[in-house]
Structure formats: structure tokens, C-alpha cells
Amino acid sequence: MKISELSYHDNSEEIFSLISDEPWCIFLDSGYPRIDTGRYDVITGRPSITLETYNKKTYITSDGNKVISEENPFDLVRENLGKKEENLSGLPFAGGALGYFGYDLSRRVENFSGNSKKNIDMPDMAIGIYDWSLIVDHHMKKTWLASFNRFHSTSLIWNDLQKIFSEIKNIKKNNFKIKSKIKSNISKKEYEKAFNSIKEYIRNGDCYQVNFAQHFSAEFEGDTWALYKKLRTHNPAPFSAYMNLPSGNILSSSPERFLKLVGKQVETKPIKGTKHRSVFAYEDKELAASLLNSEKDRAENLMIVDLLRNDISKSCESGTVNVPKLFALETFSTVHHLVSTISGRLDKNKDAIDLIEGCFPGGSITGAPKLRSMEIIDELEPDRRSIYCGSIAYIGFDGNIDSNICIRTLIYCNNKIHFFVGGGIVWDSTVESEYKECFDKASAMFKVLEEKSV
């Protein structure tokens, strides 16, 4: 491995601003300094290989050459990662696969079809193979440029990278503008109709829970990095990310981990159960307590815990899957959440790709049982979800994973900004509370988009 220590800065957006306009640059954002528990930020760019999947075709670009494959996209990521390396640095990501697996990639995992249409022209999967990363450790107050040195090109640009990231300078502030009203793809009446259809499916025994979402969009002009900086100020979250891709940009302020793998230890942390926050401390405390004691939310959370126990069991040693935390309260800038933790030990015959594919998409944003819920989602939601409810993830050359669930995520494509917001509907749900919950979850995104742009 190759490692160089650079100067530490407590706000990593200043560092990422130096390369934010480069295609395929990525910032994995822990939310620090606005979230004290945030530790590692990861910054990278200039991938050696890129993989972009549209429907059944994956376009693989390396050294300016492009090939097309119809093989399983997960297998293609494994193939381009190559042999597993030992990481002696202790750093979370020093190179490997990094990008997103969109929710619509699930059509390659599960065989289902429905009525939804694709209206966001982004790949179903966009992954780069990166041979270097800048790691900012906010607990140790250290910054490292690290690489497994897989590709000769990395040695050629190493000194240049050190120079770029050592010269923090004032970056010109760019503006953005929302040029239209933010519109949902469904009216409240249409939401109620879909809600009642889900209730009927539950009554008939098709499912126990379905995560149903609305799609919001608006005309956008300007710099998405300026918008992301505003988003991370208003809604800091531990699994945030910014991605600048040729097809568009991803601005995620996700509070939810999908999968983490370190060595053989597997962890997933589903969120299920939400309450809005109050500006009054006593009322906010009461809202948090009511969520913790809500039988409906606890039952909903437990359904997803059982689903995810089953999902990670596909790749874990028998008898190692357990639930160390059930119904823990986690509080964010606009909402309280119920979060559970499920862990296990990776089977010796499985790898990181097996784990991701076996759990994809995350059960907390589908429903239970998973396949039938996904079929109902595809039937009732007018638009395909694109990146929403997929995952931004890294799979290191060392085989380690960390990943989010792409909720609270803005998507920029073709001069429009998009975001989706949903919630799990169960038999005890009421249409008014579920509809309101969508807007509680989306409040930070509405705020950054509707405030006067800066």
C-alpha cells in the first residue's frame, strides 16, 4: 500500500470543493462537524474503470475503451475488483468499487414487472473502480491519501493529488435556482387510492407491509454542489454522499446504513418508525417517547428485522445472526427514528458481493414479504424509483463494505431535481398519518429547495 499524510481540516467540504466539478468524483460524508459522532469522510475521483448499467446492458469503460456486457452487474463488479488485498492500514477505504446500486437494479435480482415508467435517465448502476482515496479521520484529526497501487496510472498522478489536496483555497461560490414549483407525481386523492389498495392486499394476505412513495420534482438551474452544501447544513446525516456523474448528480443526506462488512463481521441497521420533531424541548421529548412506546411502529420495525435477519442469513454462518439492538431511538435534525441493529458472521464460502446481492434492495424500504411488496410497489407507484431506495456503497479491494439506503436523496438529471419520499403502510396505518409522515421526512429537502438560493 501507499499512504501519504496530509494536513487535516475539520470541514471536508472545503477539500472536496477542489475536485467537485470533476466527473466521477465522490464524497462520502459523515456529517461532521454538524454531527459529532461522524468520523470518517472519504473523497475520491478519477476512476480507472467505470461500469454503467442500463436495463440489461452494462457499459464498461477502461483506458478509453468501452465494452458492453449483459452479464449480471454484481458479477461484473466482482470481476473488475479482482483479487482480494490485505489492508494493514486500518483505513476504511483505500480503493475498490464505489458508486451506487439503484433500486431499479432489483429487476435483475428478482423477476417482476409492473406499470411504473422510467422517467429519470440515470443508470440502474454506476460504479467506479478507484485506486486511491483521501480519508479524513475526525476523531484522530488526521488526513491520509491512500492507495493499494493497483494501477500504474496512480503512481503517475500521486504527486499531483498531494498537491491538489494540500492547497485549500477560496473556491468561487456558485448559485442555484429552483425554476418551478415542486410537484408530486400523485395527488392526495391518488395517494389515498393507492393506500386503500395496499390495505386490501394486506386484508387478502398478500403482504404485511408495503413501503409506498411519492416522487417530487422541479426545474433546476445552477450548481448542484452549492445545493448539497446547503443540504448538509440543514440536514446533516451520518451516511450522506455527493456524486458527480456524467449522467447526473446524487445528493444524499441519508440517516440509514444498509450493510457494513469489516473482515467477517456483518451489520445492518434498518430504520422503521418516524416522528417529526418539535422546536419545543418538552414537546420534542414527548414525541420521542411516543415513538418508543408506539405498538404500531415497534411491530412495523420487527417485521423488517425478521426480513433482514433472513436476508443476511443467506450469506452468514448458521447460528451467527442476532439482534444486539432492537427499537433504539435515533434523533436527527427534523425527525426521530426507531433503529434496530442486526449482525452476523460472513460464511467462508461467501464474499462482499454475495452479501450485497443477497440483501438487495434493503428490506426496510420494500415491505414484507419482500418480493410481493416490490410487485405491489411497481404496480401502484407511477414512476420507477431510480436511485431512491437503492444504495450508495463501497466495496474495498480488502473486501470490506459500507453502504447506505438512498433515502432523503436528491437526484439531478436533465435540468430537473428529483426526490422521493415514502413510508411503510401496515394494517394499523391511517392515510392521514402516512401522508403527513411523507412530508415530515421531506421537510429538510423542501426547506433547502424553497428557501432563497445562495
Catalytic residues: 256, 272
Strand partners, 21: none
273, 305 in Cβ contact below 8 A? no
Torsion sign, CA atoms 234, 235, 240, 246:
negative
Query: What's the rounded Cα separation, in Å, for the pair 275 and 272?
Result: 10
Query: What's the rounded Cα separation, in Å, for the pair 356 and 254?
Result: 18
Query: What's the rounded Cα separation, in Å, for the pair 374 and 367?
Result: 7
Q: How far apart are the first and last CA of the chain?
A: 42
Cα-Cα-Cα-Cα dihedral of 204, 207, 209, 212, to 10°? -90
Name the DSSP class of 105.
G
Query: What's the rounded Cα separation, in Å, for the pair 120 and 139?
Result: 39
Cell of 356: 450485497
Strand bridging mode 271-276 / 265-268: unpaired
What is the enclosing helix (H) or strand (E) of 393? strand 391-396
Cα-Cα-Cα-Cα dihedral of 344, 347, 352, 358, to 10°? -80
Cell of 185: 407525481
- List the beta strands (DSSP E) in 255-334: 257-262, 265-268, 271-276, 322-331
- Burial annotation 333-368 (CB, 10 A radius, 16+ → b, else e): bbbbbbbbbbbbbbbeebbbbbbbbbbbbbbbbbbb
> Nearest-CA neighbor of 112 among 404, 369, 347, 448?
369
Single-letter code of the amino acid located at 265: Q
Phi and psi, residue 226, nearest 5°: -60, -40
114, 94 in Cβ contact below 8 A? no
Query: What's the rounded Cα separation, in Å, for the pair 123 and 127?
Result: 10
